[in-house]
Amino acid sequence: MDDLPETLARGDGIAGELALRRRGGQDGVYELIVNGTFLMDTAETSTERLLADVLLDRHDSPRRVLVGGLGFGFTVDTLLGDARVDRVDVVELEPLLVDWLRDGMVPAADVVMNDPRVHIEVADIRDALDDAAPELYDGILLDTDNGPGFLVRDENARVYEPPALRAAADALAVGGVLALWSAAPSDRLAVALADSVGDVTELVRTVTRQGREVDYHIYLAQRRPR
């Protein structure tokens, strides 16, 4: 019976029905479910943290960072652990998720939601990229869906296409890093990223989920001079 999930909150979100669940009691695992489909949890967060690490490792002065997709806050939390980071702008589509984390429903997110360096906007990341000032960011980290090959929300396909990637490149200072999380490999994304930003690196992280090994991918490029 302990493995049965407890639904902590449920509501109609932008992408459909959103549910926050917990397994294993107060100190257990928190899960986000969209339209009955698993999206993320707090059990395995290494690749969310890796998304931040690729920027911190590759940029000498990552002062201002844009994160597309709040999740449970692990990418942002990793950024905040680096004293070089002065500001993190977070764009999250689902207002329910922001409200739940602000209300303390996921304890691990408390530090992120209360840090004065964090500025959260409820919006579509594509609109935020289109509206961003040129060369504003040292890093842009996108974890808005499960990647181009396994979408929870069909509209998010455009996040991985050349117009959005070019908008992200324009918002990056020269030498800035654009990194995207993906649940599956995508040669098409790698090509579009190379054309729009710069030379591409693909990182593969193998994690264990429910007794089986799964490969997750991060695609990153550093903005070249125009």
Helix (H, G, I), strand (E, B) or coil at 201: strand
Tokens at residue 4, please? 């049965």
Percent of the chain with pLDDT over 90: 77
Helix (H, G, I), strand (E, B) or coil at 103: coil
Helix (H, G, I), strand (E, B) or coil at 19: strand
The residues spanned by each domain of the chain are 43-222
- Residue whose entry in the numeric block shows the structure tokens 């549910």: 19
Helical pair 162-171 and 187-196, crossing angle rounded to 10 deg: 40
DSSP lists the bridge partners of residue 122 as 92
- Per residue in 59-87, pLDDT tens? 999 999 999 999 999 999 999 999 999 99
Q: Predicted confidence band at 2 (pLDDT cuts at 50, 70, 90)?
A: low
DSSP lists the bridge partners of residue 23 as 29
Please give the radius of gyration of the chain, using alpha carbons only, rounded to the nearest integer.
Answer: 17
What is the pairing mode between strands 16-23 and 6-13? antiparallel
Q: Predicted confidence band at 150 (pLDDT cuts at 50, 70, 90)?
A: confident
Q: Is the Cβ–Cβ distance between 58 and 200 less than 8 Å? A: no
- Per residue in 167-217, pLDDT tens? 999 999 999 999 999 988 999 999 999 999 999 999 999 988 877 898 999
Question: The pTM is what?
Answer: 0.94
Q: Is the Cβ–Cβ distance between 152 and 182 less than 8 Å? A: no
* Spatial CA neighbour of 146 closest among 9, 34, 63, 18: 34
Tokens at residue 141, please? 């980290």
**Using the 8-state DSSP alphabet, how is residue 211 labeled?**
T
CATH tag, 43-222: 3.40.50.150
**Using the 8-state DSSP alphabet, how is residue 5 labeled?**
P
Tokens at residue 148, please? 């181009």
**Using the 8-state DSSP alphabet, how is residue 155 labeled?**
G
Give kind and range of the element (H or E) at residue 58.
helix 46-58
What is the pairing mode between strands 118-122 and 87-92? parallel
